[in-house]
């Protein structure tokens, strides 16, 4: 009976064999010699044999298949040799096959190799199986019988980098742990892979130092192979997880066939174990492993830190064995002690070899951050001229990129404009309201919005880095409050003293920019910048909580102080309703009351309801904003819709809960910002009214204020231009500092609030214009920026819309309750800690080691040193918060000096506690 099999193509990791067919007989029939490697060769017709024929057509194929065997012929080979095999995970220089990970295609010379089920090396990714032949099958063959022998095999290939012994401290610790409990087998006589592994596990069991009380070594033996826990007949008996060295050449990939690293995770193990076996004679275990002399077995429990897993330990030893000279030395050793000495010597060689390129890279880095010299600061205006020369050639592109050409990003620009509009307007309202209270109306919401519009437009048009966002901030509101207090104490004109302080501030900033003081920012390491960034985030959180506490004090607890008149009114109004008057006494005195005598009911807006609703609005704004911000990571809706919702998370959350607070619950009194329309927005300050002594005292305040401007402007610009943001048009620190000085000169003279670069708004602006990809490394998902649209249009339009918002005062902007603004502060603080390495390292203290991400500092720095460094950073942060958030206003003014003081701490104090190489590793970008 002849049966025509339809054309089938099985790609990827599936192999199907039909039992009872002649082809299956060729593959599975017992032979007088074993087939350690069977490779199917495609015929020119893309099939086996001719398009029609009988089983005799397969006769030439049996000869061609057996010709692939180059090993010795054994009349009675061990079954293990004929069925054993291994996958190889392909890694940069190490190739490793595992049951999880990403897949990679491999093509060699245009030919496709097909591996049989008995192959000692099966590459699942290269299988492309075609069947279209007439095969004779028994008459009683059924569909069930045809599928009974089907085997599905999944493998994955990924490239692992050779371990850097100079940077990755775990490499040395892996070797030290092995040397302390060395499990070495010299001149093993076993020939099959199964027997070799059994001898290695037996060596584990007999070694008292490696005793595992609850470990079943027979179970470990079965776990090493893919057919673990299943009957052996008809299943693929292959190693589950291995690493092997590969070298890329012009003709393809060449395997290092003299060694093999086998890795396995076992739940019952308590610690990691490594055994190295040197075989007495080279063993031929199939293609790509034709002369195996060394077998490395790595066993580890599954719950391990990312740098201590079986794969990482295997990578350590695989890196050492990838050196052919080292393997030759191991062959010459006679004793275990000589074997250990060779391992130690190889570690030394790898460390020295890796130090050479590291030294070169360090030299390049030091060239980029060479020690500052005095003449660099005396070259007046050079920094400004360099910035202009760098940025002016691409000035026109800042208006056309993403609008004209192939890579248009108009949709992203629109969503970014909306986000930036709300990100600029709402803080202006919040801090304008705060300034209104502190200055008793001298600087109000209206003036704050005008200053934001003018300063933002000028900076967007003429700055060197238009992605930086200028805002008035909490520290600036603090300085304004201090100036108001000084004016009250010494009977000075506030407008004049404020103007002189701002003019002195601008004067010092101009000096800083002319004499290239921004070069000092090279001394600020990443760790110092992150301390300041986290401090700013904490100030947003505290401002939010201070605001909600004020609401609770006013509406929730104020009634407890008692108001006899109101109490009497309530008692007289509802004598017969049986309502608990104690509850009413605790309500706010500011509520409105009305009685309806006909029904005997009442309508009272209780203060406690206001406080509870305020808390719900604040937390709701935070929840909805952060949920939408993370929505792009969810599987719902289309990818473009998710991106739009994520970009518009801030405006959506603010508008939603503004409607909830001001419309849905309109009968409940809510706290809103004050609005007192100014008679004239542009009135020159009477600077001539102050005495010389007052002007000189303003110089001291102006100097401290200039330190704050200098640090904030340059650090925010540095965070915006961070290498991970992949900006390509260059920086302009000196020119931008000069431009900020000129902008604030005009703002000071007209009594408008000062502005400088704002964190985290500027990095968030970059993020909104960025194209982001998610990548997976060792099971951890992280985001990386691919490119950023560097444009001026978003800042221009957003600040222009902020200016038009003056037409929306007081309605509908007063519909935005203050608790919604507090929720905005919490949202900004929460989103700003993404990517903050200091916060991530603080979080490590609360995580188990298995959840540690595979970051560069986890690999390069001992865990104890990481925690030491984190503790010292937290201590600096607490000192900064102690000064910056002190109830004493004059202490708050000197906290910029504390920021400057972090430079000598980083360069002089910390290296005495932690080695400089570890500090540099934790301060590195990657």
Alpha-carbon 119 to chain mean position: 42
- The first and second tokens of residue 172, run together, are 């040395």
DSSP secondary structure string for all residues of 798-832: HHHHHHHGGGGTTTTGGGS-HHHHHHHHHHHHHHH
Q: 428-440: per-residue pLDDT in tens? A: 988 888 888 888 8
Q: What is the pLDDT of residue 558?
A: 67
Residue 902 has pLDDT above 80, yes or no: yes
Contact 9, 35 (CB under 8 A): no
The mean pLDDT of 695-710, rounded to a whole number, is 92
Q: How many CA atoms lie within 13 A of 459 on its CB side?
A: 33
CA dist., res. 579 & res. 584, Å (int): 9
Per-residue burial over 691-721, b = 16 or more CB atoms within 10 Å of its CB, e = otherwise: eeebbebbeebbebbbbbbbbbbbbbbbbbb
Q: How far is CA 35 from CA 122, 125, 618, in A?
A: 13, 21, 71
Picking from 22-31, 220-229, 323-332, 611-620, which range would have the lowest pLDDT averaged per residue? 22-31
Planar angle of CA 91, 92, 98, nearest 5 degrees: 5
SS3 657: helix
Check residue 706 and give its pLDDT: 93
How far apart CA 800 and CA 200 sit, in angstroms, is 74
Distances (CA, A) of 817 to 544, 660, 670, 671: 13, 10, 6, 6
Cα-Cα-Cα-Cα dihedral sign, residues 266, 271, 272, 273: negative
Q: Are 94 and 315 in contact (CB under 8 A)?
A: yes
Q: What is the mean pLDDT of the chain?
A: 75
CA distance 727 to 468: 12
Considering only CA atoms, which of 288, 291, 269 is closest in space to residue 280? 291
CA nearest 746: which of 453, 447, 448, 455?
Answer: 455
Q: Any idea which of 323-337, 498-512, 588-602, 712-726 has the lowest mean pLDDT?
A: 588-602
- On whether the pTM is more than 0.85, the answer is no
Tally of CB atoms within 10 A around 399? 14
Q: Is the pLDDT of residue 69 over 70?
A: no
The residue to which tokens 């990838």 are assigned = 322
Q: Helices (DSSP H) in 379-493: which residue ranges?
A: 382-391, 397-400, 410-439, 445-462, 474-490
Task: In whole angstroms, give the CA distance from residue 694 to residue 581.
Answer: 57
Residue 293 three-state SS: strand
CB within 8 A of 374, min separation 6: which ones? none
C-alpha torsion sign, points 85, 90, 94, 100: negative
- Distance CA(807)–CA(200), nearest Å, equals 82
Q: Who wins on pLDDT, 599 or 685?
A: 685
CA 201 – CA 220 distance, rounded (Å): 8
Question: Residue 493 in 3-state DSSP?
Answer: coil
Residue 617 has pLDDT above 90, yes or no: yes
Other beta carbons within 10 Å of 596: 9
Q: 81-85, 214-218, 288-292, 488-492 — which is least confidently predicted?
A: 81-85
- Taking residues 297-316, what's their average pLDDT? 83
- Quote the longest CA-to-CA distance of the chain: 116
pLDDT at 332 over 50: yes
Measured from the Cβ of residue 4, the count of other Cβ atoms closer than 10 Å reads: 10
Average the pLDDT over 186-195 and give the result: 87
Q: Give the integer Cα–Cα distance in Å for 506 and 743.
A: 9
854 band by pLDDT with thresholds 50, 70 and 90 = confident
Predicted pLDDT at 495: 92
**Which one, of 613, 511, 636, lies nearest residue 556 by Cα?**
613
- Residue 436: the pLDDT is 87
Distances in whole angstroms, Cα of residue 310 to Cα of each of 176, 423, 839 = 16, 47, 29
Q: What is the per-residue pLDDT for 753?
A: 93
**pLDDT tens sequence across 347-386:** 888 877 555 443 333 333 333 456 777 777 888 889 999 9
Lowest mean pLDDT: which of 367-376, 477-486, 744-753? 367-376
Model confidence at 112, pLDDT cuts 50, 70, 90, reads very low
- How many whole angstroms separate alpha carbon 418 and alpha carbon 400? 19
pLDDT of residue 213: 64
For 112-143, b where at least 16 C-beta lie within 10 A, e where not — what string? ebbbbbbbbbbbbbbbebbbbbbbebeeeeee
Q: Show Cβ contacts of residue 827 under 8 Å, excluding neighbours closer than 6 positions.
A: 621, 622, 625, 626, 629, 649, 650, 653
CA 598 – CA 615 distance, rounded (Å) = 36
DSSP tag of 120 = S
3-class secondary-structure state, position 3: strand
Complete DSSP assignment for 829-843:
HHHHTTT-HHHHHHH
pLDDT of residue 404: 87
Measured in residues, the chain has a length of 926
DSSP three-state, residue 760? coil
Q: Which of 107-116, 191-200, 350-359 has the lowest mean pLDDT?
A: 107-116
> Residue 655, exposed/middle/buried by CB under 10 A (0-12, 13-18, 19+)?
middle
Residue 560 has pLDDT above 80, yes or no: no
Asked if pLDDT for residue 29 goes beyond 90, the answer is: no
Classify strands 151-152 and 14-15 as parallel, antiparallel or unpaired.
antiparallel
DSSP output for 862-876: -HHHHHHHHHHHHHH
Which residue would you say has higher pLDDT here, 488 or 28? 488
Is residue 36 pLDDT above 70, yes or no? no
Per-residue confidence (pLDDT) for residue 238, from 0 to 100? 76
Whether a cis peptide bond, with omega within 30° of 0, leads into 810 is: yes
H/E element holding 209?
none
Q: Which residue has the higher pLDDT, 169 or 542?
A: 542
């Amino acid at each position: 009976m002849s049966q025509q099999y339809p054309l089938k193509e099985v790609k990827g990791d599936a192999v199907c064999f039909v039992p009872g067919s002649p082809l299956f007989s060729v593959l599975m029939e017992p032979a007088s010699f074993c087939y350690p490697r069977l490779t199917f060769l495609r015929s020119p017709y893309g099939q086996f044999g001719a398009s029609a024929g009988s089983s005799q057509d397969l006769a030439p194929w049996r000869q061609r298949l057996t010709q692939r065997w180059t090993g010795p012929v054994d009349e009675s080979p061990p079954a293990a040799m004929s069925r054993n095999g291994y996958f190889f995970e392909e890694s940069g220089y190490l190739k490793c096959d595992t049951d999880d990970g990403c897949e990679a295609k491999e093509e060699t010379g245009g030919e496709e190799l097909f591996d049989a089920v008995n192959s000692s090396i099966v590459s699942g990714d290269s299988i492309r199986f075609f069947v279209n032949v007439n095969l004779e099958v028994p008459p009683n063959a059924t569909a069930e019988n045809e599928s009974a022998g089907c085997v599905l095999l999944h493998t994955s290939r990924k490239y692992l980098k050779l371990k850097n012994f100079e940077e990755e401290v775990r490499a040395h610790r892996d070797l030290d742990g092995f040397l302390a409990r060395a499990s070495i087998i010299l001149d093993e006589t076993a020939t099959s892979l199964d027997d070799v592994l059994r001898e290695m596990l037996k060596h584990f069991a007999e070694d008292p130092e490696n005793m595992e009380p609850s470990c079943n070594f027979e179970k470990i033996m079965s776990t090493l192979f893919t057919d673990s826990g299943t009957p052996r007949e008809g299943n693929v008996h292959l190693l589950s997880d291995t690493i092997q060295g590969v070298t890329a050449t012009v003709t393809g990939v060449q395997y290092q066939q003299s060694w093999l690293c086998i890795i396995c995770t076992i739940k019952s193990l308590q610690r990691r174990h490594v055994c190295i076996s040197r075989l007495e004679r080279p063993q031929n275990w199939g293609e790509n492993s034709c002369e195996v002399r060394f077998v490395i077995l790595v066993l580890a429990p599954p719950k391990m830190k990312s740098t201590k897993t079986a794969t990482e330990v295997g990578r350590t030893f695989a890196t050492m064995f990838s050196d052919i000279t080292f393997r030759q030395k191991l062959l010459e050793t006679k004793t275990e002690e000589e074997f250990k000495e060779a391992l130690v010597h190889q570690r030394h060689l790898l460390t020295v070899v890796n130090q050479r390129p590291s030294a070169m890279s360090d030299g390049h880095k030091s060239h980029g951050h060479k020690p500052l010299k005095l003449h660099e600061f005396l070259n007046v205006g050079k920094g400004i001229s360099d910035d202009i020369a760098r940025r002016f050639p691409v000035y026109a592109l800042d208006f056309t990129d993403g609008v004209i050409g192939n890579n248009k990003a108009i949709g992203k620009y629109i969503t970014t404009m909306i986000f930036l509009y709300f990100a600029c307007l709402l803080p202006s309202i919040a801090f304008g309201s705060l300034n209104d209270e502190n200055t008793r109306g001298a600087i109000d919401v209206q003036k704050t919005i005008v200053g934001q519009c003018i300063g933002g437009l000028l900076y967007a048009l003429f700055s060197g880095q238009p992605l930086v966002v200028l805002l008035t901030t909490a520290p600036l509101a603090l300085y304004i409050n201090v100036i108001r207090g000084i004016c009250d104490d010494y009977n000075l004109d506030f407008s004049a003293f404020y103007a002189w302080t701002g003019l002195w501030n601008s004067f010092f900033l101009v000096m800083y920019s002319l004499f290239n003081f921004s070069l000092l920012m090279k001394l600020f390491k990443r760790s110092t910048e992150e301390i300041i960034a986290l401090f700013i985030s904490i100030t947003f959180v505290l401002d939010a909580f201070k605001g909600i506490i004020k609401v609770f004090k006013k509406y929730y607890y104020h009634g407890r102080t008692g108001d006899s008149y109101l109490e009497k009114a309530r008692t007289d109004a509802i004598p017969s309703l049986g309502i608990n008057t104690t509850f009413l006494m605790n309500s706010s005195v500011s509520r409105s009351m009305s009685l309806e005598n006909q029904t005997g009911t009442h309508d009272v807006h209780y203060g406690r309801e206001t406080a509870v609703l305020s808390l719900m609005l604040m937390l709701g704004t935070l929840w909805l904003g952060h949920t939408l911000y993370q929505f792009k990571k969810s599987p719902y809706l289309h990818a473009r819709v998710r991106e739009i919702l994520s970009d518009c998370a801030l405006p959506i959350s603010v508008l939603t809960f503004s409607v909830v607070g001001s419309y849905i619950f309109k009968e409940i009194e809510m706290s809103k910002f004050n609005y007192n329309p100014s008679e004239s927005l542009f009135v020159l300050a009477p600077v001539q009214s102050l005495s010389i002594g007052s002007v000189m005292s303003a110089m001291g305040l102006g100097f401290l204020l200039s330190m704050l401007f200098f640090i904030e402007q340059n650090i925010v610009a540095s965070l915006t231009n961070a290498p991970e943001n992949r900006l390509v048009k260059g920086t302009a620190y000196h020119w931008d500092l000069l431009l900020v000085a000129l902008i604030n000169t005009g703002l000071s003279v007209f009594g408008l609030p000062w502005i400088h670069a704002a964190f985290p708004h500027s990095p968030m602006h970059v993020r909104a214009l960025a194209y982001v990809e998610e990548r997976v490394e060792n099971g951890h998902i992280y985001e990386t920026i691919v490119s950023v649209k560097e444009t001026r249009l978003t800042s221009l339009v957003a600040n222009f819309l902020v200016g038009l918002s003056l037409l929306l005062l007081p309605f509908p902007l007063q519909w935005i309750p203050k608790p919604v603004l507090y929720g905005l502060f919490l949202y900004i603080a929460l989103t700003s800690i993404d990517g903050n390495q200091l916060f991530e390292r603080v979080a490590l203290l609360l995580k188990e080691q298995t959840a540690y991400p595979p970051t560069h500092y986890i690999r390069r720095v001992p865990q104890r040193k990481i925690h030491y460094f984190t503790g010292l950073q937290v201590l600096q942060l607490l000192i900064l918060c102690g000064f910056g958030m002190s109830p004493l206003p004059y202490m708050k003014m000197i906290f910029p000096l504390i920021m400057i003081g972090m430079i000598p701490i980083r360069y002089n104090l910390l290296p005495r506690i932690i080695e400089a190489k570890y500090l540099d590793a934790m301060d590195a970008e990657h």
